[in-house]
Amino acid sequence: MSKPANLQINLPSLVVWAIALLITGAFGWILGDILWHGIGQLSWEFLTTEPRNAGREGGIAPILVSTALILGVCLVVALPLGVGTAMFLAEFTQTENRFGRLVGRSLDILAGVPSIVFGLFGNAFFAIQLGLGFSILSGGLTLACMVLPILIRSTEAGFRAVPTDYRLGAAALGLSRTTTLWKLLLPAATPGLMVGLVLGIGRAIAETAALIFTSGYVDRMPGSLLDSGRSLSIHIFDLSMNVPGGDGNAYASALVLLILLLLINGTATWIAQFWLARRFI
C-alpha cells in the first residue's frame, strides 16, 4: 500500500535542507562565539586609537587604515583589468577558440592556487624584483593577482549570459561596438561582476598568508603606500597566535572584520539590485 502524497519524503530536498541548516548552524555558532567574546571590547576608542602593549591594549586605527589602503590598491588594479579581460574573452573570443580555452583554463587554475604561493610570488616579484619592499603597495598588487581570476571568470559569465538580442538590437540601431559594450552590455552583466567582486573582496580582506610576505607586520599608522602596513587578518593572527593575553582584542578585531564583510556584501547586493531594476524599467 503506497503512502499518501503528503507523507512521502522527498530525499533530495531533505538532504539539501539538512546541508543548508548545518552550514547556517556552523556560521551561527562561529558568529555567536565572536560576538560573545568580542562585543565587550568593541568601542569607539577601540576603532580610533593605536594598539599598545603589542596589541593587548589600545585600538586598531592604523590597522583599519592599512587594510583600507591595501584593499583600495587591489581594487584599483583588479577592477579595470578584470572587466577589460572579461569583456575581451566574452565578446571578442569564441568559446571554441584555442586561445580562449587556454586563457580560461589558466584562470581556473590560478583561482585554485593556494594564497601562500601568491605571497611568495608577490615577495619575489613586487617586494624584491621591483624594489617595493614590504609595503602596502606590494600587498595590494599581490591581492590583485589573487582576485583577478575570480573577478574575470564571474564577469565573463555575466557577459555571456546577456541575450544575443541585445547585441543584434544595438547593431540594428547603428550603435558602435564601444557604445554597445559600455552602455548596454556592461550594465546587463553587472550581476556577474558583483558576484566576482564580492567573492574577490571576501578573499582579499580576509587574506593572511599572502600579506605576511608582502605588506608586513608593522602596526603603526602608514604614511604612504610604500610604508609597511598590517591588515586586520594579520592583526588577528598575530594577537591570537603570538601575543599572550591578546585574545580579547583578537575577538574584537574579528568582529570588526565580519562587520566590514557584511557591509561590503550588502553594498554590492544593493548595487546589483539597482542595475537589475534599471534593466527592466
Q: Give Cα separations from 51 to 63, 64, 108, 259 (angstroms).
A: 9, 11, 40, 20
**pLDDT for position 264:** 81
Give which of 139, 167, 169 is closest to 74, Cα–Cα: 139
**pLDDT for position 34:** 87
Domain positions in the chain are 69-231
Q: Strand, coil or helix: what is 8?
A: coil
Q: What is the pLDDT along the chain (281 residues), one digit of tens a residue?
A: 445 554 456 777 888 889 999 999 998 898 888 888 888 888 888 888 888 887 888 888 999 999 999 999 999 999 999 988 888 888 887 766 788 788 888 888 888 888 889 999 999 999 999 998 899 999 999 999 999 999 998 888 888 888 888 888 888 888 788 888 887 888 878 778 888 888 888 888 888 888 989 988 888 888 888 998 889 989 998 888 888 888 888 899 999 998 888 888 787 777 767 766 665 55
> What would the grid cell of residue 98 be?
584555442
**pLDDT for position 278:** 62
Find how far residue 96's CA is from the centre of its chain: 30
Q: Give Cα separations from 155 to 16, 65, 80, 188 (angstroms).
A: 28, 29, 12, 11
Which residues are CB-neighbours of 195 under 8 A, at least 6 positions away?
154, 158
Q: Which CATH number among 3.90.1010.10, 1.10.3720.10, 1.10.4010.10, 3.40.190.10 corresponds to the domain 69-231?
A: 1.10.3720.10
Environment class of 206 (CB within 10 Å of its CB; exposed 0-12, middle 13-18, buried 19+): middle
